[in-house]
Structure 1
Amino acid sequence: MKKYNFLAVILLGITLIGCKEKNKGENSLFTIDDSAFPAHFTQKESLSIGVLNPNSKEIDSIAYFINDKRVGGTKGAEKFKFELKDQKLGYQYLKATVYFGGDFSDATKRIEVVSDIEPKLLNYKIVNTFPHDTTAFTEGFEFYNDTLYESTGQEGASFIKKYDYKTGKVFKQIDLDKQYFGEGITFINGKLFQLTYKNKKGFIYDAKTLKLEKTFDYEKDIEGWGMTNDGKYIYQTDGTEKIWKVDPNTQKMIDYINVYSGTSKIKAVNELEWINGKIYTNVWFKDAIAVVNPENGAVEGILNLSDLRKTMNDITTDDVLNGIAYNPKTKTIFVTGKNWSKMFEITVSE
């Protein structure tokens, strides 16, 4: 087993094994020839596509599409070669529109593009340990102007608070209406953005006063989980392997990446933090953080924090690791978990 599959076990608990799947609804006249397809492709590979013509139709031309975007065409039944370097990780949907005798017919196929990056196993050192509110079901965790902010979940117990992490003193707290289950937060453009779990609504507050300025509806039928930003765009999770890229000015989802560690799709990516050009993300119910390339979704590093749990005897298995906050002033990372009694200030190295 390759090393990156071993590391993926930390995130997944299992290693997903890819396999070719028969596509449903393939056209009976033509099919895409997958006889030479590997179980997975990587972005460094090229794809040679052709069609099988069992009825010996005289083919005039073929137009080829990936995810409904035309990528080229050929005369007759010639194969078409396409580089995968610009494709997302995850499933790609192929279509060949075959033109023959004044008619046309589609053949379809699904392939999976996976990461060829071997994640590095990262080390950490505990710099400080601070108390954490055991009633806080942590969802969002972020520093703004050297002050720590935390959002929590559960209907009737969701709030955002601004507080002194050293003493626990609360400077300000905003309680959500009882109907809402609060989720991730992030600060950008002088605003504080917050998601909700299944309510499909988000909130925008003034960053200084925490006064609610706007409520918005999700553009897509998804759940709200974690949030972070790169100074220009917001990134948010929905409980799947996806990290969405969002325009903070319009709240429109403009793109997404799928998170992969080697051949393994990492589902349930949760709380996010942007640190030095990478996305650090909790994985739901795993005592580990994945370091993700925001350009392609490849996991480049894995931080196993399972030993932190051993320092507390007052938490259960349901009290999962969740909460990553980077303090740019100290260049350290703060981590905690849902209802944990401690938060930890750590440094990370290879």
Structure 2
Amino acid sequence: MRVHNLFITTFLALNIVGCGDKQKDKEGFFGFDESAIKPIYSATDKVDFTLLNNNSKTIDSVIYFANNERITSVKGNGKFSFDLNGKKLGYQNIKALVYFEGDTISTQTRIEVAAAIAPKLLKYTVVNTYDHDVNAFTQGYEFYKDTLMESTGREGTSYVAKTDYKTGKTYQKTDLNQQYFGEGITVLNDKIYQLTWQNAEGFIYDAKTLKPIKSFPYDKKIEGWGLTNDGKYLYQSDGTEKIWKMDPESQKLIDHVNVYTNDSKIKSVNEIEWINGKIYGNIWQKDAIAVINPQTGAVEAVLDLTALRAKVTNKEAEVLNGIAFRKTTNTIFVTGKNWNKAFEIRVQE
């Protein structure tokens, strides 16, 4: 019996390997010419694809897909021209479904798409300089009805608070439980939404009283970094080049953009703020703010704040991380993690 079972097992194994080898051989029939694909493309480019027919098979037709969405079909091995205008920045996964000699097989590649225009450099003037709590590991910074709201991070010291922007002192706050590392906040419809870093959980508070309303689990396996809103939807950064669009009622993530300049992705988008139809985003470990188109993810401008960072005198100060737009004065308040100063600035082209 053992010999019989061994024979069956060996027989099945040989057949499985044999089928796998045939499939693998078939996959080598066609492929994209990777040598013809550029490292990165502009959002205004058109990319021409033609399949390599390595075994000179007779191709009936090819159906092309981009990110699993059918784009077009061509007869034979005709050229496929992919117009990137209006396509999402970042990676476009291209798949070809090849019909040939009564058989079908697929092959795929990917291309990276960057913004069409290089970002411009913005200027600013300092309107005022204020004190900031050096113990505040700032993660969220936003005005609500001319009241400055601030959230902080690190386990055991995380809170959401109302802050006197002139003194940097909190006068009303709610602490998070010890296990939570607080992150970005935003206020929409008199509710404060707050993220946590790696706890995969967010919180909602009454904006007037700071009393907790509910908690919510993250919709995807991502980290929580920055948070803002456009008056209808929430926008969340997760430490990558992605900014997610969130339904505030369900807390479900419904879309995202990838943040790119004209030549590269911008990773580690941190604290974010909605200002006049654009997303202003701190970039982790950079003393700069990227002005991001929320529809495309393209970085349209950059604000270099290294000169402000040089004015922060306490040794414990970490990265720039705090952007609060004050509508009543049309100015922006910026600060950082454990900074002893906050700056009110006015931005110009």
TM-score of the aligned structures, taking structure 1 as reference length: 0.90
Distance 1:130 1:239 in 2: 28
Q: Does the Cα contact within 8 Å between 2:133 and 2:169 map onto a contact in 1?
A: no
Q: Does the Cα contact within 8 Å between 1:153 and 1:183 map onto a contact in 2?
A: yes
Instruction: Determine if the alignment matches structure 1 residue 251 to structure 2 residue 251.
Output: yes
Q: How many residues align?
A: 325
Distance 1:252 1:329 in 2: 32
Q: Structure 1: give runs of 5+ residues left out of the alignment.
A: 1-24
Q: Tell which deviates more after alignment, 135-144 or 116-125.
A: 116-125
Instruction: Determine if the alignment matches structure 1 residue 293 to structure 2 residue 287.
Output: no
Q: Which whole-Å deviations, capped at 9, do the CAs of 1:163-187 have from their partners, x for residues lacking one?
A: 2211345331000000000000001
Q: Does the Cα contact within 8 Å between 1:61 and 1:76 map onto a contact in 2?
A: yes
The AA in structure 1 aligned to 2:346 is: T
Which structure: larger Rg?
2
Distance 1:170 1:198 in 2: 25
Q: Does the Cα contact within 8 Å between 1:243 and 1:257 map onto a contact in 2?
A: yes
Report which structure shows greater RCO (CA 8 Å, sep ≥6): 1
The residue aligned with 2:193 is 193
Deviation at residue 32 of structure 1 after TM alignment: 1.6
Deviation at residue 50 of structure 1 after TM alignment: 1.8
Q: Which whole-Å deviations, capped at 9, do the CAs of 1:215-270 have from their partners, x for residues lacking one?
A: 11111111100001111111111111111111111111111111112212111110
The residue aligned with 2:337 is 338
The residue aligned with 2:322 is 323
Distance 2:90 2:163 in 1: 40
Deviation at residue 80 of structure 1 after TM alignment: 1.9
Q: Tell which deviates more after alignment, 76-85 or 268-277.
A: 76-85
The residue aligned with 2:4 is none
Distance 2:330 2:103 in 1: 63
Distance 1:315 1:104 in 2: 64
The residue aligned with 1:92 is 92
Deviation at residue 26 of structure 1 after TM alignment: 11
Distance 1:126 1:180 in 2: 35
Distance 2:32 2:264 in 1: 25
Deviation at residue 34 of structure 1 after TM alignment: 4.2
Q: Tell which deviates more after alignment, 336-345 or 108-117.
A: 108-117
Q: Does the Cα contact within 8 Å between 2:132 and 2:169 map onto a contact in 1?
A: no
Please give the secondary structure, in 2, of the residue aligned with 1:313: coil
Pair 1:103–1:26, CA change in 2 (3 A): closer
Please give the secondary structure, in 2, of the residue aligned with 1:308: helix
Alignment of 1:44-59 (within 5 A): 44-59=44-59
Please give the secondary structure, in 1, of the residue aligned with 2:307: helix
Deviation at residue 82 of structure 1 after TM alignment: 2.4
Distance 2:348 2:168 in 1: 28
Q: Tell which deviates more after alignment, 142-151 or 202-211.
A: 202-211
Alignment of 1:190-229 (within 5 A): 190-229=190-229
Q: Which whole-Å deviations, capped at 9, do the CAs of 1:260-303 have from their partners, x for residues lacking one?
A: 12212111110000101111000001111111111111111111
Which contiguous aligned blocks of 4+ residues in structure 1 show a shift greater than 2 angstroms? 33-39, 167-171
TM-score of the aligned structures, taking structure 2 as reference length: 0.90
Q: Does the Cα contact within 8 Å between 1:234 and 1:245 map onto a contact in 2?
A: yes
Please give the secondary structure, in 1, of the residue aligned with 2:107: strand
Please give the secondary structure, in 2, of the residue aligned with 1:60: strand
The residue aligned with 2:37 is 37
The residue aligned with 1:155 is 155
Q: Does the Cα contact within 8 Å between 1:326 and 1:333 map onto a contact in 2?
A: yes
Instruction: Determine if the alignment matches structure 1 residue 347 to structure 2 residue 346.
Output: yes
Structure having the larger proportion of residues in helix: 2
The residue aligned with 1:9 is none
The residue aligned with 1:16 is none
Please give the secondary structure, in 2, of the residue aligned with 1:265: coil
Deviation at residue 133 of structure 1 after TM alignment: 0.4
The residue aligned with 1:167 is 167
Q: Which whole-Å deviations, capped at 9, do the CAs of 1:138-179 have from their partners, x for residues lacking one?
A: 000000011000000000000011022113453310000000
Q: Does the Cα contact within 8 Å between 2:324 and 2:334 map onto a contact in 1?
A: yes
Distance 1:114 1:312 in 2: 35
Please give the secondary structure, in 1, of the residue aligned with 2:122: strand
Please give the secondary structure, in 1, of the residue aligned with 2:27: coil
The AA in structure 2 aligned to 1:140 is: G
State, as a whole percentage, how many aligned pairs show the same letter: 58
The residue aligned with 2:120 is 120
The residue aligned with 2:79 is 79
Q: Which whole-Å deviations, capped at 9, do the CAs of 1:27-50 have from their partners, x for residues lacking one?
A: 311002345433321121112222
Q: Tell which deviates more after alignment, 255-264 or 146-155.
A: 255-264
Distance 2:176 2:89 in 1: 37
The AA in structure 1 aligned to 2:341 is: K
